[in-house]
Amino acid sequence: MNLRKCRFIVVFLIFICFLIIPGCRASHDAQTEDRATSPPSVKTAGKSAEAPYYDLTGIWKSSIFGEMKLRQSGNRVTGVYDCNDGQIEGVVEGSRFIYDWWEQAPGRPYKKAFKTHRGDGYFDISKNGKRLTGKWRLEGVKKWGGNWQFSWRSNLRVKKIN
């Protein structure tokens, strides 16, 4: 089987998983949500309680995509996730994290990943800051390719460099 057919089969199987497993993913995340050590901070910009912003720095967990580790500086977020050596970066705007993702290009920038392994998406951040729910799609495709759902797990342990 050539590489192109193999890639198509992998993408097709992942797509099928999104159609079949959403209920399982939701129940798994609900069962394990309470194990978080400390949720990401939910802060209020200025004096208005209507304009919260979120610090997403930490470890997030999905029953399908594994762990995702995020670091946030201001409204910019960068990170990695287990599935296919995935990378993610974007911005938090209100209660939405808008991002670009790419896979199978560890340590390399977005444009170095194959077009079939990169795209964009968004996560809506729950009011308590413990859940990310959103969609992703491939670069250049208008239709959303699938759903993502992550639950908060723990803070990242940052080593201090002398």
pLDDT one-digit tens code per residue, 54-91: 889 999 999 888 999 999 999 999 999 999 999 999 99
Residue 94 lies in a domain: yes
Residue 159 lies in a domain: no
Total number of domains in the chain: 1
Question: Whole-number mean pLDDT of the chain?
Answer: 75
**DSSP 8-state secondary structure symbol assigned to residue 63:** T
Is the pLDDT confidence value at 30 over 90? no
Q: Which residues span the domain enclosing 44?
A: 3-154
Among 118, 70, 117, which residue's Cα sits nearest to residue 97?
70
81-118 burial, b at 16+ Cβ within 10 Å, e below that, comes to beebbbbbbbebeebbbebbbbbebeeeebeebeeebb
Residue 133 lies in a domain: yes
Residue-level pLDDT at 157: 56
Is the pLDDT confidence value at 120 over 50? yes
Lowest mean pLDDT across 13-22, 63-72, 145-154 = 13-22
Residue 57 lies in a domain: yes
Please give the average per-residue pLDDT across 33-39, as a whole number: 38
Residue 119 lies in a domain: yes
Among 136, 132, 124, which residue's Cα sits nearest to residue 39?
132
Whole-structure pTM value: 0.67
Residue 129 lies in a domain: yes
pLDDT band at 121 (very low <50, low <70, confident <90, very high): very high
Please give the average per-residue pLDDT across 42-53, as a whole number: 46
Among 120, 160, 134, 143, which residue's Cα sits nearest to residue 56?
134
Residue 136 lies in a domain: yes
Identify the CATH number of the domain in which residue 62 sits.
Answer: 2.40.128
Residue 161 lies in a domain: no
